[in-house]
A = this chain, B = another copy of it.
Amino acid sequence: MKALVIEKTDQAARLVVRDVSNPVPLPGEALVKVKLAGICRTDQELVKGYLDFSGIPGHEFVGEVVEVNSKEDPDRELIGQRVVGEINCGCGKCQWCHAGLQRHCPHRTVLGIAGKDGAFAEFLTLPLDNLHVVADEIDDKTAVFTEPAAAALEIFEQVKISPHSKVLVIGDGKLGLLISRVLQLHGCEVDCIGGGEHKIALLQQWGINAVHHSHPIATRYQFAVEASGTPEGFNTAIKSLHPRGTLILKSTYAGKLQTNAAPWVINEIQIVGSRCGPFAPALNLLRQNMLDVDSLITAIFPFKDALSTFEAASASESLKVLLDFSKID
């Protein structure tokens, strides 16, 4: 099959297109034919060396189950179904897996991020338990937003946010916009700091207060979400908070954070790291078309243009760029 691969050399990592063997599903796994995959900022960080990953990246996808390595009838009924998939694959035996928190299993692999080839290929494998069937009302280009929408919803799994809170979101990338949107749906008044004209226009269209990052922050917040992926965003978030405020940290990036921790203590700030989230409520919101993800799609490229697609995805005005595997040759 054709795949996009991060190859490590002595000096650096690079992204190339390769012909590789099809993956083979282990017992309890499915083979999924990828239909559409989304490029995430994490993928761009992986290419820069984040997490020292080599192999096939990609963890946002919608696809069709073409094979299952199981003799159980309910499992076999998945064949031919359209699915999205949770990306963390736990050992199934530890306390984390037993608590339903495979995403924290110390022995886990993570699709396209750690120890497991990902979605930028014609086929991928995932445990059957990770798959969620996609309702017919959700089209492919909407379904591919399930993983980032779940990551946005994870905030409510971790932090009790009163709907009458005013919340600051830092970063108007794909995740920052999705987070702004789910906070708005929760009832909160949301200010979102960004820089892109098109993105600011979209926020305003949604009724969210868009603040250009060159403007000083005029108020203090009980909650701030850092989704800009930069150390500057972190320090802005800390400064924006009320005493006893909470910073929800969504950004991961290669590189160090340099900061002054004394204000965290003096102002009794809480910082909450937040990662992957629940797929079922994300699919609910997508099915009801609550997230307006159509407005987040900058372009859909055929797989043959995969390398230039990565370039398009890193343009500053770019939002979600999708890779279409239906047009593979």
What is A's interface to B at a CB cutoff of 8 Å?
A: 50, 96, 101, 104, 106, 158, 234, 243-244, 249-275
Please state if B249 and A265 are interface contacts (CB–CB under 8 Å): yes
Please state if B268 and A271 are interface contacts (CB–CB under 8 Å): no
Nearest to A271 among chain B residues (CB) is B271
What are 9 pairs between A and B in contact, CB < 8 Å?
Answer: A104-B267, A104-B268, A249-B264, A256-B260, A257-B261, A263-B273, A268-B273, A268-B274, A271-B272
Please state if A265 and B257 are interface contacts (CB–CB under 8 Å): no
Please state if A270 and B268 are interface contacts (CB–CB under 8 Å): no
Nearest to A159 among chain B residues (CB) is B270
Which of A101, A250, A272 has the most C-beta atoms of chain B within 10 angstroms of its own C-beta? Answer: A272
Please state if A268 and B262 are interface contacts (CB–CB under 8 Å): no
Separation of A265 and B227 alpha carbons in the complex (Å): 11
Nearest to A257 among chain B residues (CB) is B261
Please state if A266 and B271 are interface contacts (CB–CB under 8 Å): no
A232 to chain B, nearest CB (A): 13
| Chain B residues, CB < 8 A from A266 | 252, 273, 275
| Chain B residues, CB < 8 A from A256 | 258-260
Nearest to A231 among chain B residues (CB) is B261
Please state if A271 and B270 are interface contacts (CB–CB under 8 Å): yes
5 extra A-B contacts, CB within 8 A, seeds A104-B244, A249-B265, A257-B260? A265-B273, A266-B273, A266-B275, A268-B273, A270-B270
| Given known contacts A268-B273, A271-B271, A258 and B257 CB-to-CB distance under 8 angstroms | yes
Please state if B257 and A259 are interface contacts (CB–CB under 8 Å): yes
Please state if A96 and B243 are interface contacts (CB–CB under 8 Å): yes
Please state if A104 and B243 are interface contacts (CB–CB under 8 Å): yes
| Chain B residues, CB < 8 A from A244 | 101, 104
| Chain B residues, CB < 8 A from A234 | 261
Partner of A258, one of B258, B267, B272, B273: B258
Partner of A265, one of B106, B252, B260, B263: B252
Separation of A269 and B104 alpha carbons in the complex (Å): 11
A241 to chain B, nearest CB (A): 10
Please state if B268 and A275 are interface contacts (CB–CB under 8 Å): yes
Separation of A250 and B262 alpha carbons in the complex (Å): 9
A42 to chain B, nearest CB (A): 10
Partner of A268, one of B106, B158, B251, B267: B158
Separation of A106 and B263 alpha carbons in the complex (Å): 13
| Chain B residues, CB < 8 A from A270 | 270-273
A219 to chain B, nearest CB (A): 13
